[in-house]
Each structure stands twice: as structure tokens, then as C-alpha cells.
Structure 1
Amino acid sequence: MKMEEVYNQKLGFMPQVYMIMHANSLYNGMNRLVEDVNSQNIQQKFKIHFNQEGVSYNNDAEELYNLKRLQPNPYWYTNHLLMKINKDTGQKLAFVMGDENRGKQWELINGAAEFIGNRIVLTSPVEDSGVLYLKDSDDYNNIKLSTRIEGNVVGRQSIVLRFDREKDSFINIAFQDNQIIVEEKAPMKEIKKLFSYKFGDIKLDDEEISPQDRKESSTKVETPNNSVMETKEYPINIQKSRDVNIIMNGNKLEIWVDNILVTKDIEIDSAIVKGGVALESQYSKINKKDTIYDGVFDDLKIQHIIKEEDSEIPILFYNGYTKSQKIAKDIQDFFNSLVDWAIETF
């Protein structure tokens, strides 16, 4: 059946705009005979063709049959898309905040932040770090912090403790490219790496990973004998949920992930005494295609440690749901799942 017949049968008319399925292939190394046939038919049947993918902006100098288009990834949050459009167009689109009552407790230093119920999504600027600072936390010292990180494995989501902006000192616990990296920055000193730990391999679901994702996630490095070796990294769309508990008490740091003790008694520089809590997000160099990253933090809770043996410690900050809010959300999620099922089934 010819293309015109299909469109006329399904839509009742022939559209004037076309987007080829395999973007960036036409006019870019495709077999010449195949390219000529495709190009001729597209120009005969359509007035505009979006052939390239990866950029959202076209100007008046573009060829009508070789225009650019942007295909957002499913894991992008709203501000990720807006950040990308800002980059491509040079415009300054306003970002979304979500829950303003939750958002007003934070100071956005860099990037964009969206507050979605118990979730904080921190989107980094292009090739830069997103930083979100908790207001009124300047004097925090001995604390227990818990959260669940939900961002992509390939990227950097950090929890910053004792962040003194005047002295430029902090402790940074970063989850980056399937590992933990702990760094400290004492006043008048350089950043110092204290600890690193690589998590076990993540089981990949082939149904969720396209060949293109696998290709883009590989990295070529030079070996000592000047040959080139390809090392496989995690595809850029792999997500991993991790429950994180951090105890910062005195000059000792303790980290638990998924109820497993990762490290205990990391010694912190004695000059780093107190400071605020901040969240950070940053893209990974492994991801060659996208220099914007969404750090995702769920159910963030901060408690004040008075004594180590205290079973009940005061809550300084909590971004999770109350019991009534959780019940309401579960009911809403159940209803939404029924609607989705009905749409897919009928």
C-alpha cells in the first residue's frame, strides 16, 4: 500500500511535514542510491522534512528538507527539557518549581529545581553543577541524613554537609557513575578525596536498552602500548534506586546504602566544624550526548544528633509524606493505574 493511501485512509489527508525514523542518516553516509530515492520521494510528497536530531532550534538559513528536531528522552524531567531548549535557542525560558511551599525552604544557587511531592529534582545547567541549599541550615553540625536517590547511574548526585559558603568548606558525598566518592574541602585548602567505593554490577534489562544507548555509553581509551581499547560503561538511561543513610558526628563520617554499611569512621578535617546542607547534580563525561543531568532525591530527612545512644532524635527537616498524605497518594496511584490499564486494554 502506498504512503499516500495510508495517510488518506487513516487521517483523511496527506500531511505536509515529515520526520524520517532514523535521524541523522540521510545526507550523512547513507548508501547513495537509497539516499537519492528517499530524498526524491520526501521532496515530492512533503513541504518540510525534519531530518536531523539532537537540537531544537532552526533558523532561516536552514534547508527545509534538512531541518533539526529534538527527541526528549523518557527519563528527562520538565526542567531538563527547558534547560536543553535554552541551550539550543539562547532564550531564557522560565523553569517549573512544582510545589512552591516545599520549594521556598530552599535556596537555588545554580540550575533548576522541581518539587514533586516527596521528590526533589535538581537539574544541572549545561556542563555545570546544579546546587540547592537548605535555608536555615548554616549551623548544622552533628546530623543524621537519610534519602533515596533515584537519578540515572551515569551522572553525579551529591549530598553536601557542613557547607560553609563564607569559608568555602564542605564535605561532599557523591554518587557518581555507580560509585561513591567522598571529598572534603577545608578552609584555605584544595579539595581532598577521602574515600571511594564502586558498587557491584547492575543487571541490565535488554528490553529497556537500545543498541544506540549501548553504543553511546562505550568509551575508547589508549593502553600503555598505544593501542586503542573500548571499555563498556553503563548505558546512559540506566536508573538505580538507593536508600542512603549518612551520619556526620564530630569529625567522623559513616555511610549506609541499602541497609549495608559502606564505610565507618572516615575522619574529617577538624577545621570543618559546621555548615549547611546542600544537594548537587552534575552530568557525567561518560554521557557524550547530554551535558545536562537530573539529580533525584526522595524522602529527604535530616535529624539532629544529640547523643549517639539517643533512640529518638529531633527532626530538623523532612520532605516526605505524612501518613494521611501517603494514604491519599496511594489511592491516587491506584486509580491512575486502573485508568492506564483501561487505556491499554480497551
Structure 2
Amino acid sequence: MTLADKEFTSKRNRVKRIRTVIEVIVIAVLLYIIINALFVFSKYKPFSLNDTEFGTDEGFVAISYFGVDRTGTNVLIGKEQLEHHLEVLKKNGFVTITGKDVQDYYAKGKALPKHSLYLNFEDGRRDTAVFAEKILEKFNYHATISTYAENLHNNDNKFLKAQELNAFLENGFWELGTNGYRLYYINVFDRWKNYLGNMNPLVYSHLTGVIGRNYNHYLMDYIRDDKDFPVESYQAMKDRITDDYTMLRDIYTKDIGFVPEAYTLMHANTNRYGNNEDVSQVNEQWLRKLFKFTFNREGYCHNLRNSSIHDLTRMEPRSYWSANHLLMRIKYDDVPDIKFEPGDENQYREWDIVKGAAEFRDETIILTTIPKENALMRLKDSSGFNNVRLTCDVKGNKYGTQQIYLRSDENAANYIAVAFKNNHLIIEEKAGGAPKKLKDVDLFVFDGGKYHSIDEDKREVAIKEREIFGRYAPNTATGRRQLEKLKAERERKAFSVEEGGAPYIPTMSYHARMDRKLEIRLQGNMITVLLDGKPAVENLKIERNQPGFLWLGAIWPDYGYSQTNLADDVYDGVFSGLKVEELTADNNNLPVLYDVHYTGLEGFKRSVKHKWEAVLDWLLATF
């Protein structure tokens, strides 16, 4: 081998060694990231008298989440949003308490921290434990994970099993609670008051779109017929309910070694412990026999010493609630010394928050109403705004009102307003008199939607029901009968609106989300509004042409419709990426009057942060 060959071989081997070292380092870093993101290595440290603020007896706040998802769904809160919720609670001095603390508070008069929090996660989902546990570790928070006993034995891998639950209890961040033996629905009617009977969660989930509010849970009532008469005797009802509690007791005792002390009753806000007095008495006998304390109500979160330990209340935040939405609900449940979250304080100081609360987070302005009222905020240095182009994404709920005021005076007594109200775009002007509605655009129609007749909707509902009942029929004969009914329903003539049928106006869900790209062009005596790049209002004539302030507003609509038994009296207006430019003669290179987007070094840092978080999410999802 020549000297040149030796040098080449040596160089190649050196490159291989360097590459190997780099690969090992990369793999080690990836393993560290994944292990650190998924596994908990510390232990929960309970509050002590030395490091916790105590004051007058303020009871405790109970918050119960439906579950946690990596990015969030309509029902499950995203892990980032959950972390933000718990972060603002931590800032407000909230300390988590255990079930033993709750029992000692009522039985022994034990003192609790000034801001005490009982935290619960329902349904015992595996993804809840995976995504919530690291957040609990970060804030040294303790939580209850509530399960259905039936899910410990079924084959649904979404839910934690006994061995996993026992492992989770070891580090002190968790304790076990229960929602009961099973989730099952009885006395179900569709939105046209057709009786559907009883169904499991799988069938119910497929029929959610056609079911109204008329249904119940397995332990809450007699099983009834389509005329609302009981089809079982008192003894049959008592035996049925007793079977559920005894199966719950036996499964937990065998698989876990004990019956959970905390019971979160489904469904909440009934008359005592059921919708019927006989049923309530049977439930009460069993829950007092098996459990140490019971969450029997939902909506309010504040439990005081004079509350019954078997009639406690919890609040169930929705996945879309902002941090201030959560804090607003807590504050107006008579919990003292709650401070709202401003988010980016530099951006916050550019506005006057006239009513409600506002948070600036990730280039988004979230404006939260006072319960049952409204919220208003005014851009401080905007009194000279006149001919403008305003762009933003509007992302609050469809049911409710989100407003943008232009050319407004200092008190918002005169203005031009662009509002989204109950899925309508409304242009309104107030110039020295009463507000005048200039335009009302139904966004369902704007998006190409067509209103069906009542007759057509009844047929569609019946078709959906027969499809699902046929697919999940308990036997071949039942399935065949459902398919025959399906065929007949599809062949049935339904008169359309054009043929004289009465129109069906769907009831809007309180929880339906909006995501609209909004562009407003206000110049002279004309206003144009584009939604998602399409003209919704073009060159609409207006009277008010004086320069004025920019305001944002939000209005709580009313309790509205929620299929679940949840009421909410707070509303969030969400304005993402708000930017205002001055329109010029040639409309080129428009001067920026206001921009919520980050620029320069801060923009670069946030871009890197978001990209890194995306990489972490990809690693966790992949590995």
C-alpha cells in the first residue's frame, strides 16, 4: 500500500469515526427528548403549612376536564392549552389538594390553602395520562383520574387498564376516582321526538348529530317507553342500579385492590341523585355506602364548608376556553383575589381594556366577557384611523358576537361596526342616533349552504338512524328489519322548500367554532368586506366619515343550546393576526398603523420556538 493510499484510508476512517460519534450524539439527544417528554422521574410534594398561604376559610375549587389530546379536539383539551390553564392557576396561587384533604376538610375541620384546587380528569383515557402527567410534574400538581369500571375489562385500548393505573398511582401525582360502572344512554329521543330507546356510547357517538337534549344516563331514571311511561317496576329498577354498583365494587376490588373514594356522578344537575325520586334514593344509598365523597353537580366550581360532601360541584372547562375564560368563571363563583392573564404585557399596554379581560398570546387577541355581559377594548393611539385596510382571522364561537369598531369616538357612542353574530356577518353604523343595520349576511348561505325543509330533515334523520341501527344490530334478524326500514325511508318523497315545505332552521350549538379570514376595506363613504378571500359586502355606502378609534368587542349571546348538560355564561372573542394599514391613493406599500405580529429578533425567536415544538411533537408522534 502506497503512502497516498494509507493517508486516504486514514482520512476515510477518521470521517467514519466522526460520523459515528455524531450519529450516537443525535440518537442520544433524541432518546433524551423522548424519555424526558414521556416519563416522570420526580415525586409529588404535598403542600405544607410552611410554604402555602392560608387565610380565611375559602373552601376549594374543583375543576374536571373531559380528557387531554396532543393537539386538542372539540371535546378533549390540547396539552398546550391545558398547560396554559394550569400555569395561570399556579400564578394565582392555586395549590392542589387530594381526596384525603377533602375528607379531612369536612370531617375534621382541616384548614386548606387560600386557593385550593381539586383537579380531576374524567373517563380514564390513556392519552390523558400520557399528556397530562408531565404537566402535573412541571407545576407539582396532583390530580384524580376517574375511570369507568367496565373499561378496565373491555378491549378498547383508549382506556387505561388496572396494571397501568396502579403504576400511575406510585409517583403521587395521581389518585383514582370513578365515573361509575359504565357509560350508557337510556330513554333517547331524536330531535324530532322520535323514540330511539337505549344505546351504548359507540352508537350514541354516531347519532350525536340527530339527537337532541332528550336523553338520560343509565343510573338516572327508570327505563321508559316512547310515551315516557316506565317499562320496569320499582324492584326491577332497583335491581338494575344495584347490579351496576356491585359490579363496580367487585371489579375495582379485584383489579385495583380498593374502591375509589371519589365518585363523579353522570349525569350532573339532576334532582338530587337522579331524575326520579325513587331512582335518586337508590343511588344515594349506594354512593354513601361505597364512596367517601361525590361530585353530583356541574357548572359552579366553588365548594364551601357548608356544602354536603356527597353533593359537591365541579366545573368542566371546554377545550376551547381561554385562560381568562377559566379565570372569569372562577372569579365570579365568589373566589377572591383572581388576577387575569394579560399575556404579552408590551402588547397589552397598547390597549385600554374597558370591560372584561384580554390576553395577548401567540399573535392573537382573546377578549373575554364578564358573565352574561360583554367586553370592550380600545386601541390607545388610534383616534386618527380613517381610511384603512384591516385583516385578521376571527376564531371565536359562531354562537355569540365578535365586533370590530372603526371610526369610533372615544366612548364607542358613534361608529362603524363589522360584527359576527350567531354565524351572520352584520354591518352596523351609529352616527348620532340609534344603531342602524346596513347589511346582514347569513354565512351558512354565503358558504353555499341550502336550507332543507322540515320534511327533508326528518327523512335524513330517519335514514341516519336506520343506517346506524342496521350496522350495529344485535342480530341478523334485527339488522334485516332495519335495512328494510332504511330502504323505505330512502324511497319516501320529502317536499323541499321550493315545493312548499316549511324550512328547517338548525339549532346552532353553543360550542360550534368559527375560523374566518377577514379583510375590511374602509375608504371614504364605502366599506367592502371579504371573507376567506371572497367578497361578502362590496362598496356598501356609509355616512360616518370622521376619523376615529379602533375598538374590539365581544358579547355573550345567552345560554344557547348545548347537547350536554353544560351551561356557560362567558364568551371569548378571538382575533388572530390583527393588522391595520392605511389606505392610500394608489394602495401600494400601505403604511402599517397597527400589527400584532412579532417582527425582528422577537419574531425570529418565536419562529424558532414554534419550529422546535413542531419537531418535538413529530418525535413524540413518530416514536
**In structure 1, distance between residues paired with 2:378 and 2:516:** 22
* TM-score calculated relative to the size of structure 2: 0.47
Task: Please list the CA deviations of residues 264-310 of structure 1 after superposition, one character each: whole Å capped at 9, or x if unmatched.
Answer: 2222224x401111111111236263221111111111001121x23
Q: CA deviation at 1:32?
A: 4.8
The one-letter amino acid of 2:342's match is: M
**In structure 2, distance between residues paired with 1:235 and 1:340:** 34
What are structure 2's unaligned runs of at least 5 residues? Answer: 1-148, 150-246, 450-502, 562-566
**In structure 1, distance between residues paired with 2:504 and 2:302:** 33
Q: Which has the higher contact order (CA 8 A, sep 6+)?
A: 1
Three-state SS of the structure 1 residue aligned to 2:302 is: coil
**In structure 1, distance between residues paired with 2:421 and 2:411:** 27
Identity among equivalent pairs (%): 30
Three-state SS of the structure 1 residue aligned to 2:444 is: coil
The one of 524, 527, 535 equivalent to 1:253 is: 527
Q: CA deviation at 1:155?
A: 1.1
Going from structure 1 to structure 2, the CA distance change for 1:167 and 1:75 (only over 3 Å counts) comes to closer
- Find the counterpart in structure 1 of residue 386 from structure 2: 141
**In structure 2, distance between residues paired with 1:88 and 1:230:** 38
The one of 122, 130, 136 equivalent to 2:375 is: 130
**In structure 2, distance between residues paired with 1:163 and 1:329:** 38
Aligned 8 A contact 2:341 2:358 in 1: yes
**In structure 2, distance between residues paired with 1:199 and 1:155:** 14
**In structure 1, distance between residues paired with 2:346 and 2:425:** 32
The one of 243, 261, 277 equivalent to 2:517 is: 243
Tell which structure's C-alpha radius of gyration is larger: 2
- Find the counterpart in structure 2 of residue 313 from structure 1: 590
Task: Please list the CA deviations of residues 53-89 of structure 1 after superposition, one character each: whole Å capped at 9, or x if unmatched.
Answer: 1111233433221222111111111111111112222
The one-letter amino acid of 1:285's match is: D
Task: Please list the CA deviations of residues 221-259 of structure 1 after superposition, one character each: whole Å capped at 9, or x if unmatched.
Answer: xxxxxxxx9953221111121000001111211111111
- Find the counterpart in structure 2 of residue 278 from structure 1: 551
**In structure 2, distance between residues paired with 1:27 and 1:230:** 36
**Structure with a larger share of its residues in helix:** 2
Aligned 8 A contact 1:154 1:286 in 2: no
Going from structure 1 to structure 2, the CA distance change for 1:56 and 1:230 (only over 3 Å counts) comes to farther
The one-letter amino acid of 1:337's match is: D
- Find the counterpart in structure 1 of residue 487 from structure 2: none
- Find the counterpart in structure 2 of residue 100 from structure 1: 345
Going from structure 1 to structure 2, the CA distance change for 1:81 and 1:19 (only over 3 Å counts) comes to same
Q: CA deviation at 1:30?
A: 3.0
Three-state SS of the structure 2 residue aligned to 1:240 is: coil
**In structure 1, distance between residues paired with 2:508 and 2:551:** 27
**In structure 1, distance between residues paired with 2:609 and 2:408:** 34
- Find the counterpart in structure 1 of residue 125 from structure 2: none
Three-state SS of the structure 2 residue aligned to 1:332 is: helix
**In structure 1, distance between residues paired with 2:296 and 2:571:** 26
**In structure 2, distance between residues paired with 1:185 and 1:50:** 48
- Find the counterpart in structure 1 of residue 244 from structure 2: none
What are structure 1's unaligned runs of at least 5 residues? Answer: 204-228
**In structure 2, distance between residues paired with 1:156 and 1:183:** 13
- Find the counterpart in structure 2 of residue 335 from structure 1: 615
The one of 604, 607, 610 equivalent to 1:324 is: 604
Aligned 8 A contact 2:559 2:569 in 1: no
The one-letter amino acid of 2:353's match is: L
Residues 133-282 of structure 1 aligned to structure 2 (within 5 Å): 133-165=378-410, 168-187=413-432, 189-200=433-444, 232-270=506-544, 272-282=545-555
- Find the counterpart in structure 2 of residue 224 from structure 1: none
* TM-score calculated relative to the size of structure 1: 0.82
The one-letter amino acid of 2:397's match is: N
Residue 112 (str. 1) matches residue 349 (str. 2): no
**In structure 2, distance between residues paired with 1:80 and 1:9:** 42
Going from structure 1 to structure 2, the CA distance change for 1:122 and 1:10 (only over 3 Å counts) comes to farther
**Structure with a larger share of its residues in strand:** 1
Aligned length: 315
- Find the counterpart in structure 2 of residue 211 from structure 1: none
Q: CA deviation at 1:95?
A: 0.5
Three-state SS of the structure 2 residue aligned to 1:153 is: coil
Q: Which moved more, 1:24-33 or 1:261-270?
A: 24-33
- CA RMSD of superposed structures (Å): 2.6
Aligned 8 A contact 2:273 2:284 in 1: no
The one-letter amino acid of 2:577's match is: D
**In structure 2, distance between residues paired with 1:263 and 1:230:** 26
Three-state SS of the structure 1 residue aligned to 2:553 is: strand
The one-letter amino acid of 2:439's match is: F
